[in-house]
């Protein structure tokens, strides 16, 4: 009998997922929550046919050169900017991610962050806990309305569309968007969303939510010139990737009161946060938890496992990023 293929689970994973993997593979599972260093990852991947990873494990050409037995990399994330997919294809390695299962959960969070930011909830909570609530005054912690406002969405994929639905049908917002490619007319009509150039979007949005995928081309898509185009007093929310926003430029726009507030779930140097942002009252900071409900995280882990199992047992992985590798 052939020995079971060996796989690495690079981060602590749900017990039921480890059990499923163990039925098919010899599993080397990292138990802790501290990411492996690149050298440790390379070392632990020796002799492994598959890797179950998360957004914190970087897979690039050099790593693939050093791990010639690797055939599948399954990330438990929809974002895959930590995987060099062309390098995977060149090495004959299948890469998979976990789209769809997190769409609604992530959109819920994006909307919650928008509301917390525009309505100054975190600032109010901090003030109350610190004993700063002394009396009522007419403009005490006055923020800006969500209902009826113009919601701008940069990046109109699945999550962007789910946020658009919340804004349009839940809060009567006017929805405008920019995306690399325009949505089909019937989708635009269903969402009540108007397409416009990025500059127009920046000028018109009362609240701008960033949901675009990160790539080198998208690096600092929102920097000082873009922030200068935004409406005075607008709100910015980033649930995409930290590198999309120039954090120093954002901090300056917030400090100067050019933007009313920002809500950030993602950061350039995660888990480190730009120290200037930490000092500003008008920014809500959360630790990259947009997809973090128990149900959704289990679904993401389950889908990553489905991909790994299918890819290494002759099946069809449900969400492959480079499926052409399978037909070689
Ligand atoms: C994703 O799935 O890409 C989320 O950002 C969690 O990593």
| Residue of minimum CA distance from atom 1 in ligand 1 | 77
What is residue 168's DSSP assignment?
I
DSSP 245-299: B-HHHHHHHHHTTSEEEEEES--TTTTS--HHHHH-TTEEE--S-TT--HHHHHH
Quick check: 92 and 68 in contact, CB under 8 A? no
Q: Output the CA 142–ligand 1 centroid distance in Å.
A: 32
pLDDT for 67-91, tens place per residue?
999 999 999 999 999 999 999 999 9
Q: Which of 270, 297, 324, 328 is catalytic?
A: 270
* Nearest one of 326, 282, 280 to 307, comparing CA atoms: 326
Task: In whole angstroms, give the CA distance from residue 285 to residue 278.
Answer: 8
pLDDT score of 109? 99
Q: Give start and end residues of each alpha helix (H) in the chain.
A: 15-24, 38-44, 61-66, 85-90, 103-118, 121-129, 158-165, 171, 185-191, 198-204, 224-229, 247-255, 275-279, 294-312
Joined tokens for residue 3: 């020995």
Q: Catalytic site residue 288?
A: yes
Q: Could you tell me the CA-to-CA distances from 17 to 9, 72, 76 in Å, in that order?
A: 10, 17, 12
Which residues of the chain register pLDDT less than 50?
Answer: none
pLDDT score of 228? 98
pLDDT score of 294? 98
Report the atom number in ligand 1 closest to the C-alpha of 55: 7
Q: Catalytic site residue 270?
A: yes
pLDDT score of 235? 98
pLDDT for 313-323, tens place per residue?
999 999 999 99
* Phi and psi at residue 290, to the nearest 5°: -60, -35
Report helix, strand or coil for 28.
Answer: strand
| Residue of minimum CA distance from atom 2 in ligand 1 | 77
Report the atom number in ligand 1 closest to the C-alpha of 106: 4
Please state at what angle helix 121-129 crosses helix 103-118, rounded to 10 degrees: 60
DSSP H or E stretch at residue 73: strand 72-75
Task: In whole angstroms, give the CA distance from residue 31 to residue 158.
Answer: 32
Task: In whole angstroms, give the CA distance from residue 164 to residue 268.
Answer: 25
pLDDT score of 328? 81
């Amino acid at each position: 009998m052939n020995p079971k293929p060996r796989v690495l689970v690079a981060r602590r994973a749900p017990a039921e997922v480890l059990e499923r993997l163990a039925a098919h593979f010899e599993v080397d599972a990292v138990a802790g929550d501290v990411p492996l260093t690149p050298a440790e990852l390379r070392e632990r991947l020796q002799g492994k046919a598959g890797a179950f990873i998360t957004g914190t494990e970087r897979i690039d050409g050099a790593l693939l050169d050093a791990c010639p037995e690797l055939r599948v990399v399954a990330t438990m994330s929809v974002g895959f900017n930590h995987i060099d997919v062309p390098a995977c294809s060149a090495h004959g390695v299948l890469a998979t991610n976990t789209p769809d299962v997190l769409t609604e959960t992530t959109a819920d969070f994006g909307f919650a962050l928008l509301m917390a930011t525009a309505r100054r909830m975190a600032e109010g909570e901090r003030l109350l806990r610190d004993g700063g609530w002394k009396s009522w005054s007419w403009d005490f912690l006055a923020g800006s309305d969500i209902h009826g406002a113009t919601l701008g969405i940069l990046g109109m994929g699945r999550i962007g569309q789910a946020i658009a639905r919340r804004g349009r049908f839940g809060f009567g917002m006017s929805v405008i968007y920019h995306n690399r490619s325009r949505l089909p007319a019937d989708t635009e009509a269903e969402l009540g969303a108007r397409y416009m150039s990025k500059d127009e979007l920046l000028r018109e949005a009362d609240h701008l939510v960033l949901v675009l995928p990160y790539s080198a081309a998208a690096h600092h898509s929102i920097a000082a010139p873009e922030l200068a185009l935004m409406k005075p007093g607008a709100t910015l929310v980033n649930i995409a990737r930290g590198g999309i926003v120039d954090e120093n430029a954002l901090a300056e726009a917030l400090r100067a009161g050019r933007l009313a507030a920002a809500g950030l779930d993602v950061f350039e140097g995660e888990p480190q946060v730009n120290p200037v942002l930490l000092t500003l009252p008008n920014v809500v900071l959360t630790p990259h938890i947009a997809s973090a409900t128990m149900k959704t995280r289990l679904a993401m882990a389950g889908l990553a496992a489905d991909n790994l199992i299918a890819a290494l047992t002759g099946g069809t992985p449900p969400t492959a990023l480079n499926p052409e590798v399978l037909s070689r």
